Structure 1
Amino acid sequence: MLVLTFYQYGKQLDYSIFKLYHKKYSLQVRGEISWNSGDKLEWNIFNSYNKKFQTNNLDLNANSQTLAIENGLINYAQIIAHPNLSNHTFAIIVHKIACGGADFTEISLLNQLSLDKLTKFKVVSPLQQAQDIALAEACLNYYLNSKHYACFDSGFHKSIDASQQLLAPNLTWLNQGVRNYGTFGLALHNLVSKLSDITDKKSAKGKWIIIYLSNTMSLVCALKNGKSKYCSASDLFSLVPTPQNCGQLDPQLIPNLAACQQINPAEILDQALESNLTNLANSATSSLEGLLHSSQAQAKLAVDYYVQVLCQIIAGAGNLLQGIDGIIFSGELGTNSPQLRQIIIDQLAWLGISLSNKANLENQTKLHKKSSLAQVFSLKDSPHKAMLNQLLERI
C-alpha cells in the first residue's frame, strides 16, 4: 500500500510517497512545492535516488489554477487535487501538525473533531498551525477513503521541564497556555534515531546538543537519554538572531529608549521589529550564508554577533545537561557549511572540543578529532522518516 507524508514550513510544502509492506518501506517519489514569489508556485518532483525528473510552474492567479493566497494560506484543495498527487491511491496519509500542546504528544488518528481541538493552539503557533490545519482539512475532504494520521512537531519536546517552557516570568501567559512547545521536533526525533548508528550505545544515551542551522532558522536543542530537555525556539519566537528576526530582546528596552529620546514608544517598537542580522549588516543579503561570504565590515559584525549569541545558548544548554558528550550539526547550513561549523567550534574550544580539518572541509559525518573531549557529527534530518516510523509503531 502507498503512504503519503506531508511536512510544510513557511512557504514550502514537502511530501514523500512510500510503499509500505510487512512493516518495511521504500521511498517511491518525493516532491517540493514552494510559492516564494507570491504569485507563482513551483513544484519539483524527485525519484527515489533524489534525482529531479519533473518541474511544474503554476500561476497562482490564473483562472485555470486558482491557488491564490488568502490570509497567508494557499488554497490547498487545488494542490492535493493536482494529478501529481491525485493519480495515486493512498491507503494512509500522515500529516505534520506544528503543535499538539499537552493534549496531543503521540501520533494520532486525524479527523475533523481532532482538528477542531487543535485549532486552539494557533495562539502558540499562529502561522504554522493554521497552515497545517488548512492542508489537513483539504486532504480529509478530498481523500475520503484514506486513513489520516497526525504527527506533532511539539511532541518530541514533551519531556522539557515546565521551567524551561516559560517564555517570560508572566503568570497570565502561563495560565493562557502560552509557552515554548519547541519546534522541528520530527526532524530532531529523526536525528536522535540515528545516534545508535554512529556511536556506541552508552554515548547515544548521553548528553547531546543538536545545532540546527539554516538560512531562516537556527536552534539549539539539548538532549539527555534521547529526550529533549531544552529548545531555543518555537513557532512563536527564536532566541538566536537570524537575517529575518532579532532574537532575544528585553521589552523594557522599548519604554526606556523612548523616555531617553523623548519619542513615542511605538517608534522604538517599529525599530525593534526591524532588528535582525540583515539590518545590522546594512545589507540586502537575506541569508546567513550570504553574510558569511561577505567581505563587508558590517556583515562580519553581524556574523560575530550571531555566533556569540548562539554559543552562549549552547553553553547554557550544556550547563543544563551538566556536560556535553556530543554535538550534532544539522540543517542545510549545519551539514554544508564547514566555515560556519569551524567558527562555532572555535568559540567552544574551551570545552575541549575540536574538529578534524579534513573531515570538516569534506562535510563528512564524523567531524571530531580523536583528542576532542566531545564527539561531533554532521547529520541530515528527515522528518518524513520520523513520521513513517511513528506510523509503523502505531499500526
Structure 2
Amino acid sequence: MAESIIHRLNADAEGFDAELDALLAWEAVSDAAVANAVESIVEAVKTRGDDAVLDYTRQFDGSTASSLSELELPTARLQQALDAIDSELKAALEHAAERIRQYHAHQKQESWSYAEADGTVLGQQIRPLDRAGLYVPGGKAAYPSSVLMNAIPAKVAGVPELIMVSPTPGGKLNEVVLAAAAIAGVDRFFAIGGAQAVAALAYGTETIPRVDKIVGPGNIYVATAKRQVFGQVGLDMIAGPSEILVVCDGKTDPDWIAMDLFSQAEHDEDAQSILISPDPAFLDAVEQSLERLLPTLERAAIAGVSLRERGALVQVADMDAAVELVNRIAPEHLELSVESPQALLPNIRHAGAIFMGRYTPEALGDYCAGPNHVLPTSGTSRFSSPLGVYDFQKRSSLIQCSAEASALGHTASVLARSESLTAHARSAELRWPRK
C-alpha cells in the first residue's frame, strides 16, 4: 500500500489529542555544539570587534575583504540595483512597499496626556528607537519581501537609522534584495551574516554601530545568537517553521486549497500545513488534488516531506468544533475559506494573521496585502502579535504633580510606610506635610 501523502485525522476519534500534539510538536533546540560555537563567536566579536567579524566572514563566506569597511555597500549601490532590475519586478516591489507602508501607518502610536482636577498631569510619551538592525538571509534563502516587511515598519515608526546585514557567500550579491533595501529606505548595508553579524549589531564594533533591536529571520546559528544577545538588545521573535491552518466548509475548489497548503509546505521540510473541514468527501477531494498537483511543483521534494511529516487533513463534527481546534493550535496563518468568515471571527482568539473568504490566499499576505508577514509561530500567537510599527516605538510614562496634589502625596506616604520604606514616605511628606 502506497504511503499517504498527508496525515488523515478525525477530531472525534480515540487518541486524536495525542496524535495532534505529536504532529504540532516542534522545538528549535540548538545542540551543545551549535550553542558553544555561537558563544565563542559572540565573545570574539565583543572583545575583538571588526577583526573578529572580518575573520569569521572570511572563514564562512569566503570573503577576500581586507577591512570591514569594504563590506559596506553605499546607498548608491542599492539604488543601482533598483534601477537595473526587471521593470515588472520593480513595479511589484514598489506596489507591495506602498501597501505595506499604508497599512503600517495606521499602527503608529502618538503621545498623549491628561490633567486631573488638582493640576496633576499624567501621560505617555512615544518615541522611536534610535537605531534598528535588520538581518536578511543570503544565498538560496534570500527573500526581498522580508526586507520590505521588516524595514518599512521601522521607518514608519520614525527610526532614524536602520542597519541591514546580509551574508554574501562567495561575494555574490542578491540584486533584488538590494533593490528592496533601496525601496524600504535602509540607511546602511553590510555584506556580513551569521552569528558574527548578530553579535556586531548587538555590541557594536569600530565600523558597525550598536543597535537597539534586531529583527529578521536566519538559520539555527543566527537564531541561537539572537537568543544569546537578548537583553543586550531587543528582538522581534525566535520564529519556528512556517505554518498554515485552513478551515473550509467544503465549498471551495479543492485545487485552490491544495495549493494553499503547498504554499507553506514548499518553504522547508519542517513547515506545517493543516486543513480542517466537517466534510469528509471534501477532505478526500483535497487529498486527491495534493497527490495530482505535487509533481507539478518546482519544490516538490521539500513540499512532499513537509506534508508527509507534519501535514494533516482533519475531520471535525461542525464549524464550532473547527473554531475550537483553531484556538487550540493557535496558527501563524489562518485561512477561513468559508461562506461567511465574519461570522466565525468573533470566536477566533489565537492566530497570527487571519485570511477571510475564498478569494484570500495566504500568499497575498506574504507579499503585498499590507499587514506584516512576520508572525508568531509554534502556538505563540496565544501571547504574541505580528511585527509592526509598535515594535520600533517605545513608551515613557509622564508624571507631573502640582503643589495641590496632597491627596496623592498622602496615599504614597501611607503605602510607603506600610512597606517600611520611610525615605519614600518622607520624600512625599516633605512636599505635602501631614495635617
Q: TM-score, normalised by structure 2?
A: 0.23
Q: Which has the higher helix share?
A: 2
Relative CO higher for 1 or 2, CA cutoff 8 Å, sep ≥ 6? 2
Rg comparison, structure with higher value: 2
Q: TM-score, normalised by structure 1?
A: 0.24
